[in-house]
Amino acid sequence: MKKFIFVMLIMLAGFTMQAQEKKKAAKYDVEVKGNCDQCKRRIEKAAYSVKGVKSAEWHEDDQTLHLIIDETKCSADDVRTAVAKSGHDTDKVKATEEAYNNLHSCCQYKRD
């Protein structure tokens, strides 16, 4: 009986560990505020500055940054933080007033 319980615990631990594996090519869509091509370059540059970002493409029409990241090296929140530091608000992390005010006048979007 003890062996049976031990084997069941080992199997349960194995399933739990397997469920928590991080993906090496996880896709995310992050809302990022911006106005123009200059914003696009800045947002994508900020995203690529995070180690583990494989692809970053921002679309002005829907204000969305499409990401492919290696979750073993970074998270979507790491990218949100980097983009916010560049002056652009994201869906979860807002840029500081100082970072926003440092944007070129054509890049200063309407803030919520």
The residues pairing with 65 across neighbouring beta strands, listed in sequence order, are 30, 58
Q: What is the mean pLDDT of the chain?
A: 89
Helix (H), strand (E) at residue 65: strand 64-69
The answer to the question of residue 11 being in a domain is no
Q: Tell whether 103 is covered by a domain.
A: yes
**pTM of the shown model:** 0.79
64-90: per-residue pLDDT in tens? 999 999 999 999 999 999 999 999 999
Residue 15 domain flag: no
Q: How many CB atoms lie within 10 A of CB 56?
A: 22
Is 102 within the bounds of a domain? Answer: yes
* Per-residue confidence (pLDDT) for residue 15, from 0 to 100: 58
Rounded Cα–Cα distance for residues 17 and 13 (Å):
6
Residue whose C-alpha is closest to residue 38's, from 29, 49, 46: 46
The CA distance from 19 to 22, in Å, is 9
Q: What is the number of structural domains in the chain?
A: 1
Confidence of residue 9 (pLDDT cuts 50, 70, 90): low
In a domain, 9, yes or no: no
Least confident interval from 16-25, 27-36, 51-60: 16-25
Q: What are phi and psi of 67, to 5 degrees?
A: -120, 145
Q: Assess if residue 101 is contained within a domain.
A: yes
79, burial (CB in 10 Å: exposed 0-12, middle 13-18, buried 19+):
buried
Q: What is the pLDDT of residue 80?
A: 98
Of all residues in the chain, the percent with pLDDT exceeding 70 is: 83
